[in-house]
């Protein structure tokens, strides 16, 4: 009777479960200063290279804790949609009393570069969005790096100072122009943008975005504009929960 010897095969390793979407804390040393920032890393079910969203917070999230900027606006929405969201999100933070201009705009771009390199971001699908002060900041970083972004979503932002009590809030790169709206739209006419604003906004009047949209139409820039008729300053909750906005954004490539 013959004995049949069969090779013993190793047991197939069980597939590793997908890791859930999560936030990580990072720190950047930039131009001699230390800046904390946060990164949302999507579920491992989403494969690199990943789309990347740079999120710029509003005035109320300024500081040095590295946390507040990821707890309002897009950060809040992400916490309810962590496993479905397919992109990296980078959350830099402006120090208290400062704006998204000059060295802080450069810091945001440096944090974007660092996170993209660490987590496998796609340079062809990199986007910027921000709310209120961060809406202004969206234009700041785009004008500082006009070839960096595939699309922009500024929310309740503007170009000129919104009111007398906030003279330091404006888009610096076009501040000296006779018509800053036309100058901005002309310089970024190659970058698709979708602006959102509440019609009843009493902190950053919607008229500033209306003027920018009219200027964009005049120069042929690819700028969309959505105004919420009953919305006040908080236009971000509606914007970041809008599936059509995300579908449009992720369809843009550089």
pLDDT tens, 149-160? 999 999 999 999
What is the tally of helices (H) and strands (E) in the chain? 7, 8
pLDDT at 16: 54
pLDDT tens, 201-212? 999 999 999 999
Mean pLDDT is lowest, of 37-51, 96-110, 148-162, 174-188, for 37-51
Composition of the chain by helix, strand, coil, percent to 5 = 30, 25, 45
**pLDDT exceeds cutoff 60 at 95:** yes
Which pTM was predicted?
Answer: 0.92
Identify the structural domains of the chain with CATH numbers, from first to last: 22-251 (3.40.50.1820)
Per residue, the 3-state secondary structure of 87-134, as one string, reads: CEEEEECCCCCCCCCCHHHHHHHHHHHHHHHHHCEEEEEEEEEEECHH
What is the Cα–Cα distance from 193 to 181, expressed in whole angstroms? 14
pLDDT tens, 9-37? 444 444 456 789 999 999 999 999 999 99
The structure tokens listed for 20 are: 């859930």
Instruction: Please give the average per-residue pLDDT across 26-51, as a whole number.
Output: 94
What is the Cα–Cα distance from 63 to 70, expressed in whole angstroms? 12
Identify whether the C-beta of residue 98 lies closer than 8 Å to the C-beta of residue 31.
no
């Amino acid at each position: 009777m013959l004995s049949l010897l069969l090779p013993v095969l190793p047991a197939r390793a069980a597939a590793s479960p997908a890791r859930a979407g999560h936030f990580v804390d990072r720190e950047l040393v930039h131009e001699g200063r230390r800046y904390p920032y946060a990164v949302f890393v999507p579920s491992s079910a989403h494969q690199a290279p990943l789309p990347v969203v740079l999120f710029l917070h509003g005035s109320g999230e300024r500081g040095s804790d590295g946390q507040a900027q990821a707890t309002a606006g897009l950060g809040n929405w992400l916490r309810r949609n962590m496993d479905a969201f397919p992109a990296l999100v980078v959350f830099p933070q402006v120090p208290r009393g400062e704006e998204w201009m000059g060295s802080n705009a450069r810091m945001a771009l440096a944090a974007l570069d660092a996170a993209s390199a660490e987590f496998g971001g796609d340079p062809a699908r990199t986007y910027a969005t921000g709310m209120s002060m961060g809406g202004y900041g969206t234009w700041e970083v785009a004008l500082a790096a006009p070839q960096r972004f595939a699309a922009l979503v500024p929310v309740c932002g503007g170009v000129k100072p919104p009111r007398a009590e906030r003279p330091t809030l404006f888009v610096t790169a076009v501040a000296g122009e006779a018509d800053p709206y036309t100058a901005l739209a002309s310089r970024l006419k190659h970058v698709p943008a979708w602006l959102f604003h509440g019609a009843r906004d009493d902190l950053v009047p919607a008229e500033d975005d209306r003027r920018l949209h009219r200027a964009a139409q005049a120069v042929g820039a690819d700028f969309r504009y959505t105004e919420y008729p009953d919305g006040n300053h908080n236009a971000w909750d509606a914007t970041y929960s809008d599936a059509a906005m995300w579908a449009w954004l992720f369809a843009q490539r550089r």
